[in-house]
Chains A and B, each alone.
Chain A
């Protein structure tokens, strides 16, 4: 709520709290306890927007007045009172959209009351319908329904270890209680978790941080405790701990709602079923130990430069992304393996030689491309390449893809293998 405000609907609960006066006292006491007393102002009004503006106006007065007013309370109990109070409010005190505030200032209007006295049609034309609707809501001339505030789902649970330990197995055993609790908590809420955090607290010493944090990401959101545990085991086994751990805390940091609330009876066959699940679990496990960059998918890129035609694709969901790229049936043959860097090939009497003379079987295929991106887009590929590619057979009859560089200094290079 900009700039900073809290709206409470209190009309329905006045009797419960013993009337307006008692309620205001309780709210003030609550603010005082939380240290928010300074600069806070309370306003009671029949409309939410009106209450907000009254509060903003009062906060402005108290800050400009300089005097340390503990907490102002402005209260209006019916619409005529509210109109009177709003009319007196300076426009500059309100958190209006900057453009509207600027216009009003340009018109020489200081208070809301002055604004309201202008012809409605003219004002609407100049300020725009949204600003007019805002004012009308504040004055109670338009209904102002507000969405209810929903607390975000949060899970955090800690466990003290019976004795400090730095053994991965012992930590995993203790963490099992937390993971089981989290899995049950997620199942109750029909939610899944994409990321969670395990905080391992140790005895604070001057040279050590008080806790080690372990962030566990999942290839696809899950609430399977076994999957959680497998990933946790991989990470814990390789986690260097500065000191024995005294307590564990598990927090779910990314929680997502899920559509299906029960397991599939039959595998749907599109990767969403058991095979896809198992594959996602495997990918996670490999990534947990080897690193995400070491376990990747492959995506083709429409670029003539062989170096740029392949992109690594992050494997995140259980079902891969279908590529829109269609292979051209008339395309020239391309090798399965492409060397990361073309390998210079010896040149014997004008003929390329790779442990024996190469016999050229097809070619040349001219590939001339990349002058436009100046080598910026792909560090691996040279900008502006001009090459004649040949399909060649080595002396031991293996199938190679070689090229002759047409740009100086030239020369023959091995670039791939037709495996």
Chain B
């Protein structure tokens, strides 16, 4: 079915998106620092002025490492980063070693979940920070919509962390990803929703991990570390004497 002549100028408008192509308007983005991911993201990076929803279960998957290159880019421009209701206290030496400017890092740790959403909304609406990372395990669709509206006017990169159980819920965020760690130490990024055609297979990103992964074929070397055959690990299990 061809497009009629009257319709084509309308379809050329930048704010009309057709399901089979990336949005054509140049979007303000923050490069993610991962070439594979940038290629899969509309505009070639994390969207600014739009909410990005990141779904994962637990911590330690690599969720911060995924955002680090973008946060470092932000630092070069003198932007502030705001963390709202992080799941655990931050360990300052790690953030410093990762190249985060601690002088421009603000941590908001409200006592209640609704206060966290309020704080994230205020931060986005103020247009002040360059990036807002918010953790909201119990945010509902209405709260996500509010955040998206607040983010829409700003130039901030907005990231909302939610549990993987939110995957099936409707969400106003234009970009949604699900994260999982792999046995090989990579980060599996599944693009659940983006402005563009759906991505068939999840991406596998090589993150900087704190240690090398032991191949899964020999998972027992911890039990027999001194035999000399396994990898050169200096692990010496000692029965704990109470």
**Contacts from A to B (Cβ < 8 Å):** 269-271, 275, 278-279, 281-283, 285-286, 289-290, 294-301, 306, 309-311, 313, 315, 319-323, 325, 327-328, 331, 333-340, 347, 350-351, 359-364, 390-391, 393-394, 396-400, 404, 408-411, 416-419
The 10 closest A-B pairs by CB, nearest first: A320-B103, A417-B60, A333-B210, A337-B88, A362-B211, A278-B128, A398-B60, A338-B91, A397-B181, A334-B94
In the complex formed, the residue of A with least CB distance to B68 is A336
| B195-229 interface bits toward A, Cβ cutoff 8 Å, 1 = contact, 0 = none | 00000000000000111111000010011000000
Shortest beta-carbon distance from B131 to chain A in Å: 12
7 CB contacts below 8 A, A to B, read A310-B90, A350-B240, A360-B222, A410-B242, A411-B240, A417-B60, A419-B65
Of the stretches B30-38, B114-122, B139-147, the one at the interface is B114-122
Please tell me the number of chain B residues within 8 Å of chain A, measured between CB atoms.
68
B residues near A, CB below 8 A?
57-65, 78-80, 82, 86-98, 101-111, 115, 118-119, 122-123, 126-129, 180-183, 185, 209-214, 219, 222-223, 233-235, 237, 239-242
Cβ-defined contact, A360 with B104, below 8 A: no
| Nearest neighbor of A269 in chain B, beta-carbon distance | B78
Contacts of B101 in A (CB 8 A): 320
Contacts of A286 in B (CB 8 A): 108, 119, 122-123
A337 contacts which of B79, B80, B89, B103 (Cβ < 8 Å)?
Answer: B89
- Of A283, A328, A418, the residue contacting B209 (CB under 8 A) is A418
Asked whether, in the complex, the Cβ of B58 is within 8 Å of the Cβ of A398, the reply is yes
Q: Given A278-B128, A279-B129, A351-B222, does the pair A294, B88 have CB atoms closer than 8 Å?
A: no
- How many residue pairs link A and B with beta carbons under 8 A? The number is 203
Q: How far is the CB of B30 from chain A (nearest CB, A)?
A: 16
When the two chains form their complex, are residues B106 and A336 in contact, meaning their CB atoms are under 8 A apart?
Answer: no
**Contact partner, A278, options B87, B108, B127, B183, Cβ 8 Å:** B127
- Inter-chain CA distance A325–B237, complex, in Å, is 36
Q: Is the CB of A359 within 8 A of B219?
A: yes
Distance A338 CA – B87 CA, assembled complex (angstroms): 10
- Considering the chains assembled together, what is the distance between the CA atoms of A363 and B234 in angstroms? 7
Distance between Cα atoms of A298 and B89 in the complex (Å): 10
Tell which of A323, A336, A409 touches B94, judged by Cβ atoms closer than 8 Å: A336
Q: Assess A419 versus B104: contact at CB under 8 Å? Given A301-B92, A325-B96.
A: no
- A391-B210 contact, Cβ under 8 Å, with A327-B93, A338-B90, A359-B219: yes
Of B59, B64, B127, most buried by chain A (CB within 10 Å of CB) is: B59
Q: In whole angstroms, what is the CA distance A359 to B88 when docked?
A: 23
A418–B211 Cα gap in the complex (Å)?
Answer: 10
In the bound complex, residues from chain B placing their C-beta under 8 Å from that of A359 are 214, 219, 222
- Say whether A327 contacts B119, CB under 8 Å: no
Known interface pairs A278-B128, A325-B96, A419-B60; A361-B211 also in contact (CB < 8 Å): yes
Q: Which residues of B contact A409 (CB under 8 A)?
A: 242
Which of B58, B64, B103, B212 has most chain A Cβ within 10 Å?
Answer: B103
Contact A271 B78 (CB under 8 A): yes
CB pair B181 A399 closer than 8 Å: yes
Interface centre among A286, A300, A323, A340 (most CB of B within 10 A): A286
**B195 CB, nearest partner CB in chain A, Å:** 27
State whether B104 touches A340 (Cβ < 8 A): no
Which listed residue (A278, A297, A325, A328) contacts B106, Cβ 8 A? A297
Q: For A310, give its contact among B91, B182, B210, B234 (CB under 8 Å).
A: B91
Q: How far apart sit A281 and B103, CA to CA, in the bound complex (Å)?
A: 16
